[in-house]
């Protein structure tokens, strides 16, 4: 029996529980993460706080140790799987706001990149804010984005990249949109840990979004602007 088995999550106070969830996420313990999420919700925590303080907080630690060569891909995959377990519980709560439909977004991670947690989080938060979200998944070539835009007619194209080697692909997509004369038909928002505002500007995106909350705010602002322009 490991030490983990001796810990009764519901007996920990909030701070201890969040610390324990950091450890459990680190160890890829999906069931424990799900239990922790449920306990925090039962204690009245807002779903968004559970997400950012317990899950994203824990994943940040994983990220540091991955960078420093302490954790390796298999362990990080387990951590990601545990995080997704927690996110699955939070998703309906974040989405069920009853907000009126405010716009539509197509979102996907760019070609060569399989990171999807951040993108999924953005999609969840956008749905929660009343956007219809079409998720193209990971590893999207320019053709996949173009096809989805034509088929779905979204207000927004969202692209995610987590690698310094894949983020330049966003420019390939935007340049192709320019070549095809459709760039200005869409609001283009980009995000992902290695990006910044300067990069967003340099590749011709409308805005860089630091996190999911900023993505929602930025999307609302730009869609509002677009509708005002149309009605002017």
Residues making contact with ligand B1M (CB under 6 A):
56, 59, 62-63, 66-67, 73, 76-77, 80, 107, 112-119, 121-122, 158, 160, 162-164, 189-194, 209, 211-212, 215
Smallest gap from residue 6 Cβ to ligand B1M (A): 28
Chain position carrying tokens 């960078």: 67
Give the nearest distance from C-beta 228 to ligand B1M in angstroms: 21
Tell me whether residue 114 or residue 178 sits nearer to ligand B1M (CB atom): 114
Nearer to ligand B1M (CB atom), residue 10 or residue 81: 81
CB 18 within 8 A of CB 54: yes
> What does the alpha-carbon distance between residue 135 and residue 117 come to, in Å, rounded to a whole number?
12
Both tokens of 163, joined, read 């690698």
Write out the DSSP string of 120-164. HHHHHHHHHTTEEEEE--SSB-HHHHHHHHHHH--SEEEEE--ST
Nearer to ligand B1M, 91 or 115 (CB): 115
**Min CB(209)–ligand B1M separation in Å:** 4
Using the minimum distance from each CB to ligand B1M, give the nearer residue, 17 or 187. Answer: 187
**Residues found in the chain:** 232
Least spacing, CB of residue 35 vs ligand B1M, in Å: 21
Total Cβ atoms within 10 A of residue 4:
12
Token look-up 């590749």 returns: 203
For residue 103, is it left (φ>0), alpha (ψ between -120 and 50) or beta? left
> Can you tell me the distance from the alpha carbon of 206 to that of 158, in angstroms, rounded to the nearest whole number?
10
Residue 110's alpha-carbon distances to 41, 197, 208, in angstroms, are 34, 18, 15
Backbone angles phi, psi at 98, to 5 degrees: 70, 15
Nearer to ligand B1M, 10 or 224 (CB): 224
Q: Give the nearer residue to ligand B1M in terms of CB position, either 7 or 112.
A: 112
Closest separation in Å from C-beta 140 to ligand B1M: 12
């Amino acid at each position: 029996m490991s030490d983990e088995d001796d810990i009764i999550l519901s007996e920990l106070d909030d701070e201890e529980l969040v610390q324990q969830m950091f450890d459990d996420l680190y160890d890829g313990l999906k069931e424990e993460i799900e239990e922790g999420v449920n306990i925090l919700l039962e204690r009245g925590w807002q779903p968004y706080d559970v997400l950012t303080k317990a899950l994203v907080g824990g994943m940040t630690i994983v990220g540091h140790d991955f960078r420093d060569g302490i954790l390796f891909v298999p362990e990080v995959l387990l951590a990601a799987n545990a995080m997704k377990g927690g996110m699955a519980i939070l998703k309906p709560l974040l989405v069920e706001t009853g907000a009126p439909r405010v716009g539509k977004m197509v979102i996907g991670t760019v070609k060569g990149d399989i990171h999807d947690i951040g993108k999924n989080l953005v999609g969840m938060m956008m749905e929660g804010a009343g956007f219809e979200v079409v998720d193209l998944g990971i590893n999207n070539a320019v053709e996949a984005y173009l096809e989805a835009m034509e088929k779905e007619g979204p207000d927004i194209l969202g692209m995610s990249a987590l690698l310094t080697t894949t983020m330049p692909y966003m420019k390939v997509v935007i340049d192709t949109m320019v070549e095809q004369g459709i760039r200005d038909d869409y609001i283009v928002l980009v995000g992902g840990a290695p990006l910044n505002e300067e990069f967003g500007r340099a590749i011709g995106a409308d805005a860089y979004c630091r996190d999911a909350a900023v993505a929602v705010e930025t999307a609302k602002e730009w869609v509002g602007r677009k509708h005002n322009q149309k009605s002017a």
